[in-house]
Amino acid sequence: MDKLLRRKVDAYLMDWKNKPDRKPLIIKGARQIGKTRSVEWFASQNYTSVISINFVEQTKYREIFSDGFEVDVILKNISLLNPGVRFIPGDTLFFFDELQACPNCATSLKFFKLDGRFDVICSGSLMGINYREIESNSVGYKEDYEMHSMDFEEFLWAKGYSDDFVEDLYAHMLHIEPFSALRMDVLLELFRDYVIIGGMPEVVDTYIRNKNFSGTLDIQRQLLKDYEEDISKYVEGLDKAKVKAVYNHISTFLAKENKRFQITKITRNARNRDYIGCVEWLADAGVINVCYCMNQPELPLKGNYDPKLYKIYFKDTGLLVASLDEEAQEDLRANKNLGTYKGAIYENIVGDMLVKQGYQLFYYKSDKPALEMDFFVRDADSLIPVEVKANDGATASLNNLLKGDKYPDVKYGIKLGYRNIGFNGKFYTFPYFLTFLLKRYLWDRKRNTL
């Protein structure tokens, strides 16, 4: 088997295997982000026997748990269906793919863990997976890993850049050392390409092989159709048309000045209570990122927001670009001003890069006083405003947050844009492409200033 693209999950899987008391592992995430391929590659390199079962394609294997969950009973039923399999204690991996199609499999994880002879990895698409049921069936006997589409570091790996190159980027960030003009030009061009194609592995692989954008848009459009078909397939207990309506209006709302999602703008006389659960379903399915409006720019972040006020972003910015009209796509590919959508695209990519580092998304907007901030993150004891600038405009809100002592939790800020590294005594300026290193930077910055 050829490994197409290096992924961060590769190192995670090796760390998991090296744990002496490892639990069965569940890798979850949106569809078509590379879960199956990564596990298959890892399995082929590390086990003599790999028993791979896909519960969508091999429906008869859903019955292997029908006689109970004792491991020997499961092995017997598997060997009935495939007498050629080998069960080698200590050197066998069971890979149960498409877990959402067989929730009973989750119950078996406890028994595999207690038995201890075999390793188990499960993979499931968040779209259609009843994770609450799976959680209750296997609590305490599994380990979870949420996988995303490729981040900018993985994209750099795909382009042939090394770990040393990434470490050098981080060294510039940590020491507030501006990049040379050449390096800025190269990295900004790479980042623009990443914005356009996003991080879906098939799209990235096509871009890498063709050395241009040819073929990528067709794949992205098919992914958008696949997601819409899956809404029809998997939505239960909700109005499928309403979920689709939310999904299909994401780019429409991002084009608006305040970008806030308003149910009343989807269709005439629409009411929030009629759409309860639709946004949550799309978020749980790994299709969107939700950014909630904070009540006040102060700590803590959790609980300090209005669940009725939020923005919605695509999980993958390449899919956002693919959802736009053809003229907008051509403008972006030609590196022209994207007008209405330019700010939305950069907010979307920054939000996605923050989520891939483990952040939840929060913003703030107030009319009196006039104050608006795109995102907030935090370190150990500070609330950190993050401003996303599609141009070199004024930073009035950022300056107001940092002025005086009205917002004591805000001690410094971050501005992201097409600007080199810098610090003006109040906020740090970083180019967009360094966003994937922000959490590491904030951690090291805090540690070094203690």
Distance, CA of 129 to CA of 138 (rounded, Å): 14
Instruction: Identify the residue with better confidence: 69 or 253.
Output: 69
Strand arrangement, sheet containing 25-29: 49-54, 92-97, 119-125, 25-29, 143-146
Tens of pLDDT along 29-58?
A: 988 999 999 999 999 999 999 999 999 999
Q: Can you give the pLDDT at residue 232?
A: 83
With a cut of 90, say whether residue 204 has pLDDT above it: yes
Q: How confident is the model at residue 1 (pLDDT cuts 50, 70, 90)?
A: very low
User: Which alpha helices (H) appear in 198-336, and where do they start and end?
Assistant: 201-210, 216-234, 240-248, 250-254, 278-284, 317-323, 326-333
The gap from C-alpha 415 to its chain's centroid, in whole angstroms, comes to 22
Calculate the average pLDDT of the chain. 89
User: Which alpha helices (H) appear in 211-305, and where do they start and end?
Assistant: 216-234, 240-248, 250-254, 278-284
Q: DSSP assignment, residue 253?
A: H
Q: Can you give the pLDDT at residue 335?
A: 63
Distance, CA of 83 to CA of 57 (rounded, Å): 19
With a cut of 70, say whether residue 419 has pLDDT above it: yes
Tens of pLDDT along 81-138?
A: 999 999 999 999 999 999 888 888 989 999 999 999 999 999 987 765 555 566 556 6
Tens of pLDDT along 387-405?
A: 998 666 667 889 889 987 8
Q: Can you give the pLDDT at residue 258?
A: 65
Q: What is the pTM of this model?
A: 0.92
Q: Are 321 and 314 in contact (CB under 8 A)?
A: no
- The residue assigned the tokens 């290096």 is 6
Strand arrangement, sheet containing 288-294: 305-314, 288-294, 361-366, 371-373
Q: Can you give the pLDDT at residue 339?
A: 56
Tens of pLDDT along 321-375?
A: 888 877 766 777 676 555 556 778 899 999 999 999 999 999 999 887 789 999 9
Least confident of 199-208, 257-266, 432-441: 257-266
- The residue assigned the tokens 């269709």 is 267
DSSP state letters, 106-121: HHHHHHHHHH-SSEEE
Q: Residue 267 has which token pair?
A: 């269709």
Least confident of 15-29, 150-164, 334-348: 334-348
User: Which alpha helices (H) appear in 18-126, and where do they start and end?
Assistant: 35-46, 71-81, 104-115
Q: Give percent of the chain with pLDDT exceeding 70.
A: 91
Q: Which of 188, 138, 117 is nearest to 421 (CA)?
A: 188
Q: Can you give the pLDDT at residue 137?
A: 63
Distance, CA of 267 to CA of 153 (rounded, Å): 40
Tens of pLDDT along 273-298?
A: 777 788 888 898 888 999 999 999 99
Q: Residue 187 has which token pair?
A: 């990295």
